[in-house]
Structure 1
Amino acid sequence: MKLNAGIITEKLQETKQFYTEVLDFGVRFENEFYLLLHTPDHSAEISFLQPYHPSQKPIFQSAFSGKGVYLTIEVPHVDEVYQQLKDKGVPIEIEIRDEPWGDRHFAIKDPNGIGIDVVTYTKPED
């Protein structure tokens, strides 16, 4: 089984620019109303759909409201990614930090208001 999360948004071009230029995602497929992106290592995908497109049924019509969704991107070296994004001028929502349960992470936000937690898992504190 494979999971592909999808977000319905009016901001297809801003979203494509953010994920490809900031996070180095690739484009697997796109047309005028749909965008399918993949992580740099091709291990995961996320899709974005234009709202109220006539090809879509009512369940896939309403746009995301900007709250209640987050993504986690696990990376081998979170400090390197943090510095790369800071160097690109990406606003950091949560500064890099260690958590007692074993995360070293920071957070950014995409053009749709989706929080993105960038994390390297470490051993939890005793």
Structure 2
Amino acid sequence: MTINKILAFDALTCVLMGIVLTLWATALAPLLALPRDLLFYAGCVLFPIAIFMAVLARQDRPRSAGVWLVIAGNAAWVLASLAVLLLADPNRWGVGFLVAQALIVLAGIGRTQGCRPPGGELGESEGQMNSTLPRRTFLAASLALLAARPALGQRQTHANLGVPAMKIRDLYPLITTPVLVEARDFYVTHFDFQVTFEATWFVYLTGSGEDGTRGATLAFMHPDHPSNPPGPEAFGGLGMILTVETSDAASLFERLQRGGAPIVYPLTEEDWGQRRFMTRDPAGVLVDVVEQIEPAAGFWDQYMVKE
């Protein structure tokens, strides 16, 4: 197979992969446990790469420097895949996806061995490029894949027991209170929570995340519930703070004031690096609304755990 055909084929695969990653990044992200933006922008990068390969493929004799650049770009893509494999936290599907596409790109590098342009032989430097670099790149990336396996296995297992790490789907407080309806309305009105599930003795609320964050979940249960244990005792209001993190605590403070929510601690900029205020919901839960800001210089130095 000639270099021209290989470049054309690689350009086509780049376009197809780019379409998949850009159009279905949102759907693929939870399936692979990879960041949605990473998948989307990786797909965007593939389109100019495909154009460059297609331009080379249409040349009667592709320029040596251009082919060098394609091979170097493929090698960089493989190394970037390894970096994502080690630094991100993909699930088994994500690991399989990263490894499979890295190996396919490696195979693309290997296909340049022995290729000839139409109508003639490669020059000496081109022949060296097509022979030495793919072998070395394939060997280096293969060794990197093998080296990554122990790290991947360690990351996916419990450090002490050697068993697969538990995957938590959700973690949320369930608060027993006789004012079930009032508690529901407090979070729906002041924090835009949505009622995901509601029964006569139970209500389950979810809050949308901001800028890709996972959001929040909260539930309330009436003392007269059939799910013993726990017992019918209602929450007494002590020993618990519910923290709500926002990007604009001042705006939310004004909103709650206008809405008539009780303010038990005014809007304050704390030395430890938070702009915050506190309210209390009808169930007696103290709600701490915080915005992360820069801490006072040296504040945390006195509290840091020393090795």
Q: Does 1:34 align with 2:205?
A: no
2:239 counterpart (38, 55, 68) = 68
Deviates more, 1:64-73 or 1:25-34: 64-73
Residues 1:90 and 2:258 aligned together: no
What CA distance in whole angstroms lies between the structure 2 residues aligned with 1:61 and 1:84?
34
> Which residue of structure 2 lines up, in the alignment, with residue 10 of structure 1?
178
Deviations 1:38-92 (A, max 9, x none): 1133621111111132x21232432112222110000001111111111222221
> Which one has the bigger strand percentage?
1
Q: Distance in 1 between matches of 2:260 and 2:176?
A: 26
> Do the aligned partners of 2:197 and 2:203 also contact (CA within 8 Å) in 1?
yes
SS across alignment from 1:32: coil
Instruction: Point out where structure 1 has 5 or more consecutive residues left out of the alignment.
Output: none
Note if contact 1:8-1:60 (Cα within 8 Å) is conserved in structure 2: no
Over aligned residue pairs, what C-alpha RMSD do you find? 1.4
Greater RCO between the two (CA within 8 Å, min separation 6)? 1
Q: 1:47 is matched with which residue: 194, 219, 225?
A: 219
Partner Cα separation in structure 1 for residue 261 and residue 235 of structure 2: 22
Q: Which has the higher helix share?
A: 2
TM-score (norm 2): 0.39
- Paired residue for 2:190? 22
Contact 2:201 2:224 in 1 (8 A): no
Q: Any unmatched runs of 5+ in structure 2?
A: 1-167, 298-307
Q: Is the contact between residue 72 and residue 119 of structure 1 (CA under 8 Å) also seen in structure 2? A: yes
**Runs of at least 4 residues off by over 4 Å:** none
2:230 alignment partner, SS class: helix
SS at match of 1:59: coil
* Alpha-carbon distance in 2 for matches of 1:9, 1:61: 9
Whole-angstrom distance in 2 between the partners of 1:19 and 1:114: 12
**Residue aligning to 2:293:** 122
Q: Percent identity?
A: 33
Contact 2:174 2:219 (8 Å CA) reproduced: yes
**TM-score normalised to the size of structure 1?**
0.92
Q: What is the CA–CA distance in structure 1 between the aligned matches of 2:257 and 2:224, rounded to whole Å?
A: 36
**Contact 2:267-2:276 at 8 Å conserved across structures:** yes
